[in-house]
Structure 1
Amino acid sequence: MKRTPKESADSFRKISRRGLILGGAQLGFAGLLTLRMRQMQVDQADEFRLMAEENRINIRLIPPARGQIFDRNGVTLAANEPSYRINLVREDAGDVEDVIARLRTLVSLDEDELERAMAEMKRSAPFLPVTVADRVTWDEISRVAVNAPALPGVVPEVGLSRSYPHHEMFAHVVGYVGPVSERDLARYEDPEPVLRIPRFQIGKVGVETKYEESLRGRAGAKRVEVNAVGRVMRELGRREGEAGADIQLTVDTRLQDYINARLGEQSASVVVMDLEKGDLLAIASAPSFDPNKFVRGISVADYGVYRENERRPLASKTVQDAYPPGSTFKMVTALAAMDAGLISPSETVWCPGHLQVGGRRFHCWKRVGHGHMNLENSLRESCDVYYYDLALKVGIDRIAEMSRRLGLGYAPDIPMSAVTAGLIPDKDWKERERGQPWVIGDTVNVSIGQGYVLSSPLQQAILAARLATGRSIEPRLVKSIDGVETPSRGGESLGLNENHLRQIRKAMFAVSNNRRGTAWRSRIVAEGMEMAGKTGTSQVRNITAAERARGVTRNEDLPWKRRDHALFVNFAPYANPQIAVSVVVEHGGGGSSAAAPIARDVTLQALYKGDPPLEAYPAADRDKIAEQQEQMKREREERRQVSSSRA
């Protein structure tokens, strides 16, 4: 049907209008697109250029060299050694199993480590290297390098790894490092990027962890060009990192080595403290463990051996364990009584072998009693009844206050792990922790270092040091950091009456140098080197009335874990104190028989800075000491040879 001219005109107008609307919309869209393109190409050019650059150039962290740790004489305790490892890039290897089979003919591969590496390959990008053999020898690295054409994807690599050349000797002090774990990262609110570097090592225990930030240093960085999938194409530049700070400790390797040999297989600890600056010259716990086994992750089998050992080699007994101090605590009770003006050194107490308190009989270690005892005699012969009587006069509050002044009841500030505060109980403590009122029998027990009171071997050394000097001396373990010496910890005056301290020192001298003293057999006879000390024996079991009636079972007749702990504290020389020593032998029996001989030998080694002349020992002991010294020299030489072979 033919349209009329009017209909044609109307149709044309409609089409023109729609065309204009559509054209305008297209023009508007094109304009907006042009404006956006201009904004991106001109206004935001720098931003997008940076994003493109970041896609092309990556920043990779370079692990810093960890600071080293030395003893007071510059002997290396923790070092960095070249660590050779073999990596495998799955993408380049092709048939991974075939390449590993060829690699086995050249290098010994640990099955557990290889299994971990295969699992890591499966969850990692194919172009990322994975370590299949760690701490391989230079000869093995050389064989791999020579056969490189036949080992596609295999990349030898060298880095730094922590090593402890003295193995067990300083394990509890220096500690060890290990790979960063998720638990380690959780300790930081915003972990440093360097902590996420694969196999990066940080301190786990001891000085290594307490000074982690100083020892770690600062990471370097390198600029690398990568392709679209992130594979490194070339290195464009690098900035080397800043090595960690070197730390010098106060310990003496020679003295520590002697102590370890002297303790042998015993479960024991020794602390030697310098009395001028508070330096810890030795702080040894036996048995010990090899920290090198923990650096790369200890095996289940090795860890099981340590964990199942009843003598607990993993425990740092010097600072982590707390024991009833036994009779070494009697000086505290005596000073508390004298400081309160309740006794004089000449006053005597009658000891019939026991004291009746509140319907309970408290026994002296000497069943028939000591007779009349004054202050000096009571310490010299370690009479218990004398201190039971003092307890009734002085009370727990004064004893607790004097304990804290002499360094007990708080955790010493040294960079070792799990440092215990021990325990100095009082009325508030028992009500708070036990929900029970304090009774007089509790005070009687505390007066001789039994009951609730606990102290560590380090605290015992501090006690001896403060008695010897009258100063608030504190232990110092770190001598310097990057050559800058740390402050002395010699301390200020305790404000105690010097006459009272003199009476205590005189009584301690009698312990070792009077024929009736409990440590007479362990005396030092060299003129000017005499020591003043105190034996201690702390019970780990209750002795029943029936057992007392038939005779107390001797320690040597009991199972090892039911025997008493043996303790000894001393300072020397008596006339001019230079060092304080504490010894604890777990389940060693009596302090006079087990701990005092060790303390005497260690004291002489520290004073003479090596083997003392035999004339320093009582004449009856010299043949035995000479034989002991020769045997220990042989054992130390054997250990050094073993250490060299391990290295």
Structure 2
Amino acid sequence: MRRSPQDTATSARKISRRALFLGGSQLAFMGILGLRMRYMQVEQADEFRLMAEDNRIKVRLLPPARGLLYDRNGAVIAENEQTFRIVIRKEDANQIDQVLVELERLINLPPEDQTRVREELRKAGPSAPVTIADRLSWEAFSAVSANGPALPGVTPEVGLSRRYPLHDDFAHMVGYVGPVSDYNLSKMDVIDPLYRIPKFQIGKSGVESQLEEDLRGRAGSLRVEQNARGRIIRELGRQEGIAGANIQLTFDHKMQNFMQARLAGESAAAVILDIETGDVLASGSTPAFDPNLFVRGISVADYNALLENKYRPLPSKSVQGAYPPGSTFKMVTALAALEAGVVTSDETVRCTGHTEVGGRRFHCWKRSGHGNVNLVGSLRHSCDVYYYELAQRTGIENIAEMGRKLGLGDSYALPLPGMSSGLMPDKQWKLKNRGAEWVVGDSLNASIGQGFVLTTPMQLAVMTARIATGRAVIPRLVKSIDGVDQGIQGGEKIDINENMLRAVRQGMYEVSNSSRGTAYASRIADATLQMAGKTGTSQVRNKVVNNNNVPWEERDHALFVSYAPYDNPRYAVSVVVEHGGGGSSTAAPIARDLMLYALHGDLPPLDSYPSSQRGTISERFRNLPLRDTSGSDTEKSRA
């Protein structure tokens, strides 16, 4: 059937409209697409270029410089030294085994180190760096750097490592740093990204560990561009980290070195306090160790040698060692009795050589007895029977309270780990910890610094400083942080009658300066610097036996505490020599040398000593292993 011309015209018009609509839609779509392409290619070109580059950009942490440690005079105690190392990242290394083979041709890379690297890479994340070799020589470092294109994923790095220029002098107080371990990470609630940096060092002991947050600093960042083989092409940006705080400690490095040298050969500890400020000028413990060994990775043989040494070189005896104070505790008992009003300074007690309580004899060190003694005489002769009597009159509660007033039983707020608080026992303590009632015999033992009483050398120095001044001297270890002085704590007057303190001080003066005093042989000859002190000998066994007839481990500890000058106290000193025998023969001579060094600020002049002793003293100083005054690594005698 033929269509009419009218139908044909109508159909043509419809087709034209559809064609126009379809063509218009196509043109509009193409226009929008063109505009979008123009927007992406022109207006957003920079953004997409950066997105493309980001596929090759890596951001790496920059470890900050660890803060330095100085002594009170500005001498460096802990510093940083430049080291060279090479690291590898799993995501950038194509064939690890081949890379290690190439490295072996350039540097000394033992099979065990290669095995370690493979194992650490297996455990590490794709971008985590693994140290291949550390502390490389400049020649080895340069060889690796020059062959970088053939070592995909390998990055030579220049870092900083801790160094202790004074070696063992401050090993126990300052401590040391070491690489972050899995154990360290397990103890952290929030892990600083810095700890993921290979061989990143944190404080492991001493001040280094306790002031870690101040010393560590904050990380920086580095943006680098790498090619497909993991080779760094260029540095795109760097944000430097914030270095750790520099900390000035209260120590005097020369005084510390003299102390360590003077204690050498003994298992001993000593403390020197500035009485006015409480500053710890020196705190020694012998034998010591070189902390640099731990920083570099101490060998098994060296570590076992430290562990097996019967003199225990690893603990800090001055703050971690707790010892029966022996007769150095008698000032506490005397002041407690005076304060309780159960005795006067002039009242005498007759010493026949022993006291009998409950059918048991408590002996005086002098078996023949001292006769009638008053407070000053009891300290001068160190009469035990006098204090047995005072203990029965005073009671342990009053004695313990006086001990706490004088700083015993306190570990103080010092930035040192593992500090012992010693033990200032009373009735409640024994019932709680021993499940038994306190008895009179316990009080008698405590009155002469035996039994349950334990003190540290630091506590004994504080006790002595408080007796000397009548003020609550508190030890201080940090002088300033980044130049900001940390202030002095304490110093307020102690609630002890000044007349009672004078009586005790007089007794301590006669210990050192009376011809019948137990430390007269260790007196200071210079009348302007005379020392007040107290000897102590604490038993480590119940049976009384001559120290020369028993093994070293069973001999008595030797102790001495002192302050000087007597009429204007400036320094307090405490000395403990483990198994040293008698306080008067072993500890007192050491304390005198330390005190004179503090008073003179250098090696004591011979005229400070009695003329009959000067030859011996001169010989002793000549043989001391003193470091030179510049604090260099070279040790030499300065006598």
Normalising by structure 2, report the TM-score: 0.87
Give 1:301 shift: 1.7
Could you tell me how far apart the structure 1 residues matched to 2:574 and 2:265 are? 18
- Note the alpha carbon deviations across 1:165-202, whole angstroms, 9 max, x for none: 11111011111111112222233322222222222111
Give 1:599 shift: 0.0
Aligned to 2:24: none
Give 1:236 shift: 2.0
Give 1:209 shift: 1.2
Aligned to 2:132: 132
Could you tell me how far apart the structure 2 residues matched to 1:417 and 1:97 are? 41
Aligned to 2:362: 362
- Note the alpha carbon deviations across 1:347-392, whole angstroms, 9 max, x for none: 1111111000111110001111111111011101100000000000
Q: How does 1:85-164 map to 2 (within 5 A)?
A: 85-87=85-87, 91=94, 95-96=98-99, 98-104=101-107, 107=108, 109=109, 113=113, 115-124=115-124, 130-142=130-142, 144-145=144-145, 155-164=155-164
Letter in 2 for 1:559: P
- Note the alpha carbon deviations across 1:210-262, whole angstroms, 9 max, x for none: 11111111111123446799886643211101101000000000001111111
- Note the alpha carbon deviations across 1:32-60, whole angstroms, 9 max, x for none: xxxxxx9xx99xx9xx9899887665432
Give 1:627 shift: 1.1
Letter in 1 for 2:273: M
RMSD of aligned Cα (Å)? 2.8
Mapped pair 1:608 → 2:611: no
Does structure 2 conserve the Cα–Cα contact (< 8 Å) formed by 1:99 and 1:152? no
Q: Equivalent residue of 1:315, what SS?
A: coil
Question: Judging changes above 3 Å, is the alpha-carbon distance between structure 1 residues 638 and 214 closer, same or farther for their aligned structure 2 residues?
Answer: closer
Aligned to 1:286: 286
Aligned to 1:473: 473
Mapped pair 1:593 → 2:582: no
Question: Judging changes above 3 Å, is the alpha-carbon distance between structure 1 residues 52 and 190 closer, same or farther for their aligned structure 2 residues?
Answer: farther
Question: Judging changes above 3 Å, is the alpha-carbon distance between structure 1 residues 378 and 161 closer, same or farther for their aligned structure 2 residues?
Answer: same
Q: How does 1:93-242 map to 2 (within 5 A)?
A: 95-96=98-99, 98-104=101-107, 107=108, 109=109, 113=113, 115-124=115-124, 130-142=130-142, 144-145=144-145, 155-225=155-225, 234-242=234-242
Q: Equivalent residue of 1:188, what SS?
A: coil
Give 1:98 shift: 3.4
Question: Judging changes above 3 Å, is the alpha-carbon distance between structure 1 residues 113 and 480 closer, same or farther for their aligned structure 2 residues?
Answer: farther
Does structure 1 conserve the Cα–Cα contact (< 8 Å) formed by 2:75 and 2:631? no
Could you tell me how far apart the structure 2 residues matched to 1:192 and 1:154 are? 24
Question: Judging changes above 3 Å, is the alpha-carbon distance between structure 1 residues 230 and 86 closer, same or farther for their aligned structure 2 residues?
Answer: closer
Mapped pair 1:620 → 2:612: yes
Mapped pair 1:318 → 2:318: yes
Could you tell me how far apart the structure 2 residues matched to 1:148 and 1:58 are? 17
Q: Equivalent residue of 1:236, what SS?
A: strand
- Note the alpha carbon deviations across 1:124-180, whole angstroms, 9 max, x for none: 578876433211233443455567788787653211111111111101111111111
Could you tell me how far apart the structure 1 residues matched to 2:628 and 2:56 are? 58
Q: How does 1:481-520 map to 2 (within 5 A)?
A: 481-520=481-520
Aligned to 1:333: 333
Could you tell me how far apart the structure 1 residues matched to 2:593 and 2:113 are? 46
Mapped pair 1:553 → 2:556: no
Could you tell me how far apart the structure 1 residues matched to 2:625 and 2:493 are? 41
Does structure 2 conserve the Cα–Cα contact (< 8 Å) formed by 1:91 and 1:126? no
**Which region of structure 1 is more displaced relative to structure 2, 190-199 or 123-132?**
123-132
Letter in 2 for 1:416: L
Q: Equivalent residue of 1:339, what SS?
A: helix
Q: How does 1:534-573 map to 2 (within 5 A)?
A: 534-543=534-543, 552-573=544-565
Aligned to 2:573: 581
Give 1:297 shift: 3.2
Aligned to 1:391: 391
Aligned to 2:31: none
Could you tell me how far apart the structure 1 residues matched to 2:51 and 2:432 are? 62
Give 1:430 shift: 0.5
Could you tell me how far apart the structure 1 residues matched to 2:195 and 2:100 are? 31
Could you tell me how far apart the structure 2 residues matched to 1:97 and 1:277 are? 58
Aligned to 2:276: 276
**Which region of structure 1 is more displaced relative to structure 2, 174-183 or 625-634?**
625-634
Give 1:287 shift: 0.6
Could you tell me how far apart the structure 2 residues matched to 1:207 and 1:634 are? 24
Q: Equivalent residue of 1:223, what SS?
A: strand
**Which region of structure 1 is more displaced relative to structure 2, 357-366 or 229-238?**
229-238
- Note the alpha carbon deviations across 1:405-449, whole angstroms, 9 max, x for none: 000012121111101110011010011111101111100100000
Aligned to 1:347: 347
Aligned to 1:421: 421
Could you tell me how far apart the structure 2 residues matched to 1:114 and 1:286 are? 40
Could you tell me how far apart the structure 2 residues matched to 1:93 and 1:643 are? 47
Does structure 2 conserve the Cα–Cα contact (< 8 Å) formed by 1:276 and 1:490? no
- Note the alpha carbon deviations across 1:536-559, whole angstroms, 9 max, x for none: 00000011xxxxxxxx43112210
Normalising by structure 1, report the TM-score: 0.86
Could you tell me how far apart the structure 2 residues matched to 1:369 and 1:110 are? 72
Give 1:118 shift: 4.1
Q: Equivalent residue of 1:169, what SS?
A: helix
Alignment coverage as a number of residue pairs: 590
Could you tell me how far apart the structure 2 residues matched to 1:402 and 1:258 are? 34
Q: Equivalent residue of 1:135, what SS?
A: coil
**Which region of structure 1 is more displaced relative to structure 2, 152-161 or 277-286?**
152-161
Aligned to 1:548: none
Q: Equivalent residue of 1:632, what SS?
A: coil
Letter in 1 for 2:346: S
Does structure 2 conserve the Cα–Cα contact (< 8 Å) formed by 1:430 and 1:436? yes
Q: Equivalent residue of 2:80, what SS?
A: strand
Identity of aligned residues (%): 56
Give 1:100 shift: 4.1
Letter in 2 for 1:571: Y
Could you tell me how far apart the structure 2 residues matched to 1:635 and 1:478 are? 24
Give 1:460 shift: 0.3
Does structure 1 conserve the Cα–Cα contact (< 8 Å) formed by 2:172 and 2:316? yes
Does structure 2 conserve the Cα–Cα contact (< 8 Å) formed by 1:511 and 1:534? yes
Question: Judging changes above 3 Å, is the alpha-carbon distance between structure 1 residues 132 and 393 closer, same or farther for their aligned structure 2 residues?
Answer: same
Q: Equivalent residue of 1:77, what SS?
A: strand
Letter in 1 for 2:414: I
Give 1:303 shift: 1.2
Question: Judging changes above 3 Å, is the alpha-carbon distance between structure 1 residues 637 and 224 closer, same or farther for their aligned structure 2 residues?
Answer: closer
Does structure 2 conserve the Cα–Cα contact (< 8 Å) formed by 1:176 and 1:291? yes
Could you tell me how far apart the structure 1 residues matched to 2:624 and 2:630 are? 10
Does structure 2 conserve the Cα–Cα contact (< 8 Å) formed by 1:354 and 1:361? yes
Aligned to 2:80: 80
Give 1:636 shift: 6.4
- Note the alpha carbon deviations across 1:91-132, whole angstroms, 9 max, x for none: 37762453244234xx5x567655433432454578876433
Give 1:576 shift: 0.4
Does structure 2 conserve the Cα–Cα contact (< 8 Å) formed by 1:275 and 1:490? no
